[in-house]
A = this chain, B = another copy of it.
Amino acid sequence: LLGNPRTHHIVHVNPTQPVNRKEPEAVRITVYNYNEKECTKEVFSEIESVCPFHNNDRITWINIDGLRKSDVEKVAAHYGIHALIVEDILSLQQRPKMDEVDDILYCLLNMLYYNGEGGCVEHEQVSIVLGKNFVITFQEDPDRDVFNDIRAKLQQAHSKLRQRGADFLAYTMLDLIVDNYFLVMEKLGERIENIEEVIVHSRSQHSMSTLNNLRKELIVLKRNLAPVRDMISNIMRSESPLLEERTTKYFKDVHDHILQAYDLSENYRDILISMQDLNMNNLNLRMNEVMKVMAIVTCLMAPATVIGGIFGMNFDIIPTAHNQWGFYTAVGLMLIIPVAMLIVFKKRGWF
């Protein structure tokens, strides 16, 4: 239940020692070079190919799938990215953060995916480097394509994306990632609903560990949301020349979304906790109900046993022993006493 897929939540890799990670054998580099009129797309596998795109009058988006130390360092050297940012790009399991060094604005955050099979939330670290007229993005996993939606929009000449600058491209990326959080939360919400159904109706004991797992998923989710919220509010307050005035309101919009996501996660957490209480109380009450019935039944039998014992004693002189109705009287007592007890118990509301 609490097996392998979630272990990466607990043992975090030391963020300053990225060496343990196996480097990917191949990286895929996609370069979009566009302005209002034109948009070219090129795919490379050699990092050196991205250098010519620097300092042209179009906007360049370089997306690098797969993190190889030498590659990142080469790009950084060419595009003037500080060594500390390179370190952050390469080390995984980082806390989302935002950095402004020299003329570069750097955002690190996690794309979240809901893994339906394992029932857990997975994340992929995404680095977004915004410079003058360029955006460079770094992704961990070459197989997953975080920015698919953006690609489609870039092809449309009349889209807002094509008409605005590099900061709008960066905004679109953040917006995409934050919107994706809602998809993940929707899945978690559905699971919470299903469990609620189970708790209220069938009261299985499994629900306890499922609730516990969900609570852990929410912890992970919330720990991702809070720093992203801070990150975006930092971007809004930043007076970087890279951010145009007219893009500000878009960042405010993302900020509203992340606030809402955070609120929602708090909501889920509160609901989960009150469901855990309800579940535990349900299980306890049900168990106690059984114990009570057993105790009552056992208790009702006891007087009959005693009466049986009384007339089973081997004394020579037992009153009514030779009486014709003796046996029936005794058995009658055995019935009357428990029934009387039952009536008393019932009256006191004991069952």
Q: Which residues of A are in contact with B by a Cβ distance under 8 Å?
A: 1-2, 7, 9-12, 14-17, 82, 84, 87-88, 94-95, 97, 99, 101, 175, 179, 182-183, 185-186, 189-190, 192-193, 196-197, 200, 205, 208-209, 212, 215-216, 219-220, 223, 227, 249-250, 252-253, 256-257, 259-260, 263-264, 266-268, 270-271, 274-278, 280-285, 287-288, 290-299, 301-324, 326-327, 330-331, 334, 341, 350-351
Contacts and interface: CB of A to CB of B under 8 A. Distances in A.
A281 B314 contact: no
A350 B208 contact: no
Contacts of A315: 311, 320-323, 326-327, 330
Given A256-B95, A294-B298, A313 B308 contact: yes
B2 A196 contact: yes
Contacts of A249: 82, 84, 99, 101
Contacts of A268: 10
B208 A278 contact: yes
11 contacts: A1-B200, A2-B196, A10-B196, A14-B182, A14-B183, A215-B274, A290-B351, A294-B298, A294-B299, A301-B306, A311-B314
Interface centre among A185, A257, A309, A330 (most CB of B within 10 A): A309
Contacts of A175: 16
B334 A324 contact: no
Nearest to A300: B302
A243 to B, nearest CB: 16
**Copy count, this protein chain:** 5
Contacts of A95: 256, 259-260, 263
Given A212-B277, A278-B209, A287-B292, A314 B314 contact: yes
Contact of A317 (B7, B312, B326): B326
A281 B302 CA distance: 30
Contacts of A267: 9, 219-220, 223
Interface of A is mostly: helix
Contacts of A227: 263
Contact of A311 (B97, B196, B208, B313): B313
Contacts of A304: 306, 309-310
Given A99-B249, A315-B330, 15 more contacts: A9-B271, A10-B268, A12-B189, A84-B249, A95-B256, A95-B259, A212-B275, A290-B292, A294-B299, A295-B298, A305-B306, A309-B312, A311-B313, A315-B326, A315-B327
Contacts of A317: 324, 326-327
Interface centre among A182, A285, A288, A313 (most CB of B within 10 A): A313
A15 B196 contact: no
A94 B312 contact: no
Contacts of A293: 350
A280 B278 CA distance: 10
